[in-house]
Chain A
Amino acid sequence: MTVRDLLTSEKFSAISLPDESREIRNVYIGDLLSWVMGRAKADDAWITIMSNVNILAVASLADTSCIILAEGVTVDETIKATAMDKEINILTTNMNIYETAIYLNGLL
């Protein structure tokens, strides 16, 4: 499944989408950035409610395929611009983290 495939569902919307063909192979969930950095795998979709600028560095270095902000969380314009610049896909959904995980499980 690619990030683009996720967006065909109305449950997700794109905040930044520089690389929509990125493959999602698995899912990781977490808000503690060092924890995520150490445990998330490359090509994971990363579900979080964290929205500060440091999520971009974590996603970039851990090489996740996208950040999914749950609970309707969004980011400000500066972060959006930086995400485009650093080629980080960010999606948002109104589902909570548990619902998002279950939804993704059905697609993977």
Chain B
Amino acid sequence: MSEALKFHYVVDGQDFTSAGHASVMVKKNLRQLGLPPEKIRQVSIAMYEGEINMVIHAGGGVADVSVTEDYVEIVLTDKGPGIKDIEQAMQEGFSTATDNIRSLGFGAGMGLPNMKRYSDFMEINSVVGEGTTITMRVNIN
């Protein structure tokens, strides 16, 4: 199997208006690689939700995307407060976002559920007070 293509992005936690930049870049790159549109959509949506979560809750982080022949893998790493109760956080509608975030149209408690819905594999590793790492994979074949 040929070597995976890797992309690395820094997600700025200070700038809510530029959230989504990394996901849009990934979408562009995947399009150039000629991936099927539905797969690109899955990857972009899952990654955007993750990016927004890092901006809202963790003050930013980093995103590493690798593309292999079989899947696209997204690893999101932050040094935020961590997720106390992952099972609760995975429920649609559960959110700890502030009113300010809600007024921007986020904080509906759909972020993590959307990430799960749009990826074929998702794993959350979170330590309260240390940070969170989320790995998602979208199968191509």
Binding site for B on A (CB under 8 A): 31-35, 37-38, 42, 50, 52-58, 60-63, 86
Contact = CB atoms under 8 A, between A and B. Distances in A.
A61 B48 CA distance: 8
B83 interface: no
B41 A32 contact: no
B105 A57 contact: no
A38 to B, nearest CB: 4
A92 to B, nearest CB: 18
Interface in B94-118: 104-106, 108, 110-111, 113-114, 117-118
B105 A61 contact: no
A52 B105 contact: yes
Contact of A52 (B48, B49, B104): B104
A60 B24 contact: yes
Contacts of B111: 34
A70 to B, nearest CB: 15
Interface core residue of B16, B45, B118 (most chain A CB under 10 Å) = B45
A42 B17 contact: no
- The 7 A-B pairs of least Cβ separation, nearest first, read A57-B20, A34-B110, A33-B105, A61-B44, A38-B114, A32-B108, A53-B17
